Amino acid sequence: MSERASESSAGRILSDDDLAGLVDTDALIAAVRAVHVDEALGRAVQPVPMLTSTGPDTVLLPMIATSHRLGLTAVKILTDARGNGPGDGPAQQSTVVVLDARTGTRRAVLSGGRITRERTAAATAVATDALARPDARVLGVIGAGPLAVEHVAALRRVRDLHEVVVWSRTAERVAEFRTALRKREAADGVPAITVRAADSPRAAVQACDVLCTVTPAHTPVVEGAWFHPGLHVNAVGAPPRPDHREIDSAGMARATVVVDSREIQLAKSGEVLLSIADGSTTPEHFGVELGAVLAGQAPGRTSREEITLFNSVGVALQDLAYAALALDLGP
């Protein structure tokens, strides 16, 4: 057991600080890839979570997944309180409970903030590796918070990136991103990547080979009219609300879309639901899951010119993959 972790009748309890540096990024990418393949092959399950309103502007999303291969169940309790003020904590907060899948015994309780950032970036790396062109060299990032830094670190593991083009609403945020990225690069022992600020979201999109949108947007910040042949897009940041999205309907319609979970996307992804509602797409447009692509059951990118898009809502299997590594509960 980690010396930093505590133990109680609830099993091990790990805070965000306990989890810092505990999980290797390459190992996490491999673990997230494996659980998506497991789901495609029937070795894992995750039901559609039920979104519940718990306050005037707060929703609760309990996310559950079981891996038969790992013998574990993860229950993630996520709240999204977009009205939170400075004294209320971040808008999104979460806790992950890990259970023995057979006996129901609690194995651990983990703070979900770091888990969410790291497993989300790992899933994006898995999707990028499966869908982006092999010669992708320029990464575009819309948004400049901690999730953006995590994405750069993860995507450098799957593509030989030479430059990051980043857009944020303020120059101060871009400067903070650059500083945080340099600290992360030093910790990872990798050379500093070139960082260039874009003067608009459109400029960032048009300059890159791979795009990550990592903003809590309510209305689209990226338009499909800006997409160019060969682009791969990772739509990551929108919160789990059916009326929030970062990519407009034209973007969803133009791209070959791969999702992390079709059923969950059709229940809570604004990108999916709003583009269906206005007639730009149909549910069939979102029928290909990442696990099926990884397992060879469905095609990914089929040409250099194709525009591909991974729509990420985040699923509990990814949290479970992280927890298994952090707790050393792998097979």
Per-residue pLDDT tens digits for 252-271: 999 999 999 999 999 989 99
**Superfamily for the 125-315 domain:** NAD(P)-binding Rossmann-like Domain (3.40.50.720)
Q: What local confidence, expressed as pLDDT, does residue 331 receive?
A: 58
Same fold flag, 6-115+318-326 and 125-315: no
DSSP for 113-174, written as a single string? HHHHHHHHHHHHHHHHHHHS-TT--EEEEE--SHHHHHHHHHHTTTS---EEEEE-SSHHHH
Closest CA to 147 of 179, 170, 114: 114
pLDDT over threshold 70, residue 3: no
**Superfamily for the 6-115+318-326 domain:** ornithine cyclodeaminase, domain 1 (3.30.1780.10)
Structural domain spans, the chain = 6-115+318-326, 125-315
Percent of the chain predicted with pLDDT > 90: 85
**What pTM does this model have?**
0.94
